[in-house]
Amino acid sequence: MFMIDCGEGTQLQLRRSSISFTSLQEVFISHPHGDHCFGLLGLISTFGLLGRTRALNIYAPAVMEELFKKEMEFYCNSYDYEVIFHPVDTTKQQMIFEDKSITVETIPLEHRVPCCGYLFREKPSLPHIRREMMDFYKIPVSQVNNIKAGEDFVLPDGTVVENAKLTRPADPPRAYAYCSDTRYMPQLAEIVKEVNLLYHESTYADDKIDGAKKYFHSTARQAATVARDAEVKKLLIGHFSSRYNDDNLLLQQAQEVFPNTMLAEENKEFDVE
Amino acid sequence: MFMIDCGEGTQLQLRRSSISFTSLQEVFISHPHGDHCFGLLGLISTFGLLGRTRALNIYAPAVMEELFKKEMEFYCNSYDYEVIFHPVDTTKQQMIFEDKSITVETIPLEHRVPCCGYLFREKPSLPHIRREMMDFYKIPVSQVNNIKAGEDFVLPDGTVVENAKLTRPADPPRAYAYCSDTRYMPQLAEIVKEVNLLYHESTYADDKIDGAKKYFHSTARQAATVARDAEVKKLLIGHFSSRYNDDNLLLQQAQEVFPNTMLAEENKEFDVE
């Protein structure tokens, strides 16, 4: 369970959801603007008041470390769990997290302050066992790991059952890229190449393409251009300026370039597949 | 327009209300716990992004000043309005704000960190003019201020019309006291004597009277005891522990001591009268 960015009120949304607080162990912050990090201290406080003991890891731009530690010392000094700050170099693409099934890399972005996105990749998984074939050949459970690892199975009479008969191919590893906030970066397409789901900010519509450049934000059409050039499977756009009364304008402009685009909506769930 | 305390999400509640952002010029913070101040930076940021130019005054315990200024410098350094921090000595009862119609005094409280309440008092106002008598005696409008100030009026024929005939008594000045968070303090009753409305925290019911003392909070019955001893007109209780599924238990225990007690509820408005 990962959290990416933590604006004001995040703890309230989390409480309204069915997500277990303790399963959240990693929070990734893209940049030090309030709408992306002002909920962090409240979240940490609430976890503390609820008696959390499991450590919480915060990955955030290095520039945030000094103030964050002062805030923790002042506001969150009496809780029973550790909050570990991992300073992130937002100028490089590098792996900053790894466990047995996932890696997380930074994606350098261009915003008014140090800012990066995050790229989540599943590691390749093992093939699936074909249970009916295991039963058919009466293969003991003790052999499952060997067969998943690619071995054939030799029957008592010496017959070799080929591995391909006993397994189905592994699921292809999935990838999710989160890019917020950023000026349009054509070179992003290489970094997020062929991910299953790309979240890309779309603050503006075509009418404000100059403003987008000036304020280091993107238009919906620019987000879709990255998605198209990267040949991603799905694009999710969000972070819309309040100047637009109807987000469907942004959706429409994005879909003209990349049809498989969806609007990020409050509390909506999306599958990475 | 005053704001007292500013927990996470306050800007959202403010946006949902009909209150004009610019008319808010003073924010009073009782103490540095997240549920009383974590909304401050978000509020300040939003005002800035909306182009506010009018200064905003923050009155808060002096112990908060250093970190607040660092946060402002890091997160809110590019806005077009001034945010003025007024450090408050929470150990003394003293006047910290005054304008033509209102004074605000601190109320020293006993909590785990420096904490004070705030006492808002209207200044005595002038009597009301009896318009029908003005018409009857054909008194020119230019005389209104003199009459409000207590002067009689002399008719052209020399007859003196007494001031009491021309005016109705001024409204009695109103007072509102806000006390959160605090251990039960019997001596509070003197400070909030006869206010129109007393807000007093009521974290616990009778079952947790020991916990209240330990964690520097009050029970509903203790809040009501302060209200009764101070002979206030109305008591408003709030800040209920989430251990109580039904706040009416707290209301009932308070009303046993002070019948004119109400529950503070999200978005509910109360008159001070």
A46-91 pLDDT, tens digit per residue, is: 999 999 999 999 999 999 999 999 999 999 999 999 999 999 999 9
pLDDT of residue B17: 86
Residues of B in Cβ contact (< 8 Å) with A71: 67, 71
Q: Which of B74, B181, B216, B266 to mutate to test the interface with A (most CBs of A within 10 A)?
A: B74
Predicted local distance difference test score (pLDDT) of residue B255: 98
The residues of A that are catalytic are 35
Any CB–CB contact under 8 A between B42 and chain A?
A: yes
| Cα–Cα distance measured from residue A198 to residue A203, given in angstroms and rounded to the nearest whole number | 15
| Residue ranges of chain A assigned to CATH 3.60.15.10 | 174-273
Q: In the A/B pair of chains, how many CB contacts fall below 8 A?
A: 45
Nearest to A42 among B34, B45, B71 (CB): B34
pLDDT at B210 over 90: yes
Alpha helices in chain A (DSSP H): 10-16, 34-37, 40-49, 65-75, 131-136, 144-148, 163-166, 188-191, 209-214, 220-230, 248-257
User: Is position B35 annotated as part of the catalytic site?
Assistant: yes
CB B114, CB B98: distance < 8 Å: no
What single DSSP character describes residue A219? B
Mean confidence (pLDDT) of chain B: 96
Asked if the C-beta of B74 comes within 8 angstroms of chain A's C-beta atoms, the answer is: yes
**Least CB-CB distance to A32: which of B67, B70, B75?**
B75
Instruction: Kindly determine whether residue A34 and residue B41, on different chains, have CB atoms separated by under 8 Å.
Output: yes
For residue A177, is pLDDT > 90?
yes
Alpha-carbon gap, residue B222 to B210, rounded angstroms: 12
Coil, helix or strand at residue B83: strand
Give the CATH architecture of domain A174-273. 4-Layer Sandwich (3.60)
Average the pLDDT over B122-138 and give the result. 93
pLDDT value of position B209: 96
Question: Average pLDDT of B174-184?
Answer: 97
Predicted pLDDT of residue B16: 87
Give the pLDDT band (50/70/90) at residue B96: very high
Is B42 in contact with B7 (CB distance < 8 Å)? no
Q: A211 in contact with B at a CB cutoff of 8 Å?
A: no
Q: Which residue of B has its CA nearest to A45?
A: B34
At B267 the pLDDT is 86
Which segments of chain B belong to CATH 3.60.15.10? Answer: 97-124+172-273
Whole-number pLDDT of residue B218? 98
Which residues from chain A sit within 8 angstroms of residue B32, using beta carbons?
A: 74-75
Q: How far apart are CA B197 and CA B237, in angstroms?
A: 11
Q: What local confidence, expressed as pLDDT, does residue B273 receive?
A: 87
Contact across the interface for A71 and B74, Cβ inside 8 Å: no
Helices A65-75, B65-75: inter-axial angle, 10-degree rounding? 150
Burial class (CB in 10 A: 0-12, 13-18, 19+), A205: buried
Q: Provide the pLDDT confidence category of residue A16 given band limits of 50, 70 and 90.
A: confident
Q: Spell out the CATH class of B97-124+172-273.
A: alpha beta
Q: ipTM > 0.90?
A: no
The single-letter DSSP state of residue B158 is S
Residue A215 has pLDDT above 90, yes or no: yes
Sign of dihedral through CA atoms B210, B216, B221, B225?
positive
In the structure, what pLDDT confidence band is assigned to residue B177 with cuts at 50, 70 and 90? very high
What's the mean pLDDT in A227-245? 97
